[in-house]
Amino acid sequence: MSNLDVRPKPVACGGRDDVAGGPVHELLPPRQVPLGESTVVRRLLPSLGRRMVGAWCFVDHYGPDDITDQPGMQVPPHPHIGLQTVSWLHGGEVLHRDSLGSLQTIRPKQLGLMTAGRAISHSEESPRAHSPVLHGAQLWVALPDVHRHTDPRWEFHADLPVVTAPGFTAALLLGDLDGAASPGTTFTPIMGADITLDEGADVRVPVEPDFEYAALTMSGVLDIDGERVEPGSMLYLGCGRRELRVRADEAGGFVLLGGEPFAEKLVMWWNFIARAGEEIAQAREDWMTGDRFGTVHGYDGARLAAPAMPPTPLKPRGRTR
C-alpha cells in the first residue's frame, strides 16, 4: 500500500516517551485520504497524537465500497524501505505484483505480507473481474534497525491459525494469541488478530500486559473495554491488561493490534522508513533514477513519481511532540 499524498509530511516515530504504562482509552478519529482513482481510505495511524502501536506505524481502513461499475483499488508501482506491509481483506480481491516477480491475488482472510527491507517496489489493484464490494485494511510494521536492511521478501498465507470460543472467532495475522501462532515472519514482539463476534457476544480476549494495544473496528458497533467504537474507528488501549473485554449487541468484528512499545526513534516520509533524513533523500533519488528498487512487471500504467522533499531537514524525534 502506498501513501499517495503528493505533499506528505515527515512523521517522527518511535521511542517510549508517551506509551501509557497502564490501561487507557484514546479514540483515534479517522482522516479521509484519497487512494488512487476511486478508493478513499480512513487513515488512523499515524495521527496527530498517536504515531505507533508497538511496531505498527501505519493503518488505513477502507470500505465497504460498492465497486460494481468502478475499477476499485488502483495503486501504481511504488517503493518501500524499512518496513513490512500487511494486506488484509474482509471483502473483494487485491492483485499484488512486486519487483521480486511475485504475482498473487489476495482474498478475504488471507495474509499478504511483504517485507521491504533494504528496497522493494510493488503495485496493488482490484482485478478486472472483481467482486462488487471492496473492504479491508492496509497496515505497515516498522522494522528494527538490526533487520531493516534485510533482503526483501513476499509471503502469502491462505490458511491462518484460528482461535475459537463461544461467540468468538479470531484469525491470527501475526504473532501469538492464546497458544496459536501465525506463520507470518515478524522481527519484533508483535501481534495482530482479526476477531469476529456473534450477536450478543460478551468475551474476554487474553492479552499481554507488556504490550500496548489498539482495536480497529471493521464492522458493527462494538463495546471495547466499555467504550463504544464504530466501524472505521480505532481505540488505543495502552498497556497493563491481561484480558480485554469486548461485547457486541449485533454481529461485528475488529482487528486487534498489539506489540512491545517500539523503542527506536525513526522518521517516516512518503513510503519510506529510515533513521535519518539523508537515507530518505537517497531512497527518493534512487527511485526517481530507476536504481535499487527493481521493476514491477505487468501493471497497466506508469509508476508513481516521488513527491518533492520537504524544505526542512527530516530528523527522528521519537514520540515527543
List the binding residues for Fe cation.
Answer: 78, 80, 122, 124
Binding residues: 78, 80, 122, 124
**CA 293 → CA 276, 278, 289, 297, distances in Å?**
19, 17, 10, 13
Query: Is residue 232 within 8 Å of 242, Cβ to Cβ?
Result: no
Q: In the Cβ-directed half-sphere of 5, how many Cα atoms lie within 13 Å? A: 15
Q: Please tell me whether residue 160 adopts helix, strand or coil conformation.
A: coil
- Alpha-carbon distance values, 220 to 146, 233, 249, 278 (Å): 40, 11, 9, 44
- Residue 265, amino acid: K
Backbone angles phi, psi at 267, to 5 degrees: -125, 135
Please identify which residue in the block is written with the cell numbers 483499488: 73
Nearest to 102 by CA among 153, 136, 160: 153
The beta strand positions in 158-271, using DSSP E, are: 162-165, 168-174, 176-177, 180-181, 190-197, 202-206, 212-219, 222-224, 227-229, 234-238, 243-247, 252-259, 265-269
Q: Which amino acid is at 87?
A: S
Sign of the CA dihedral running 281, 285, 287, 293: negative
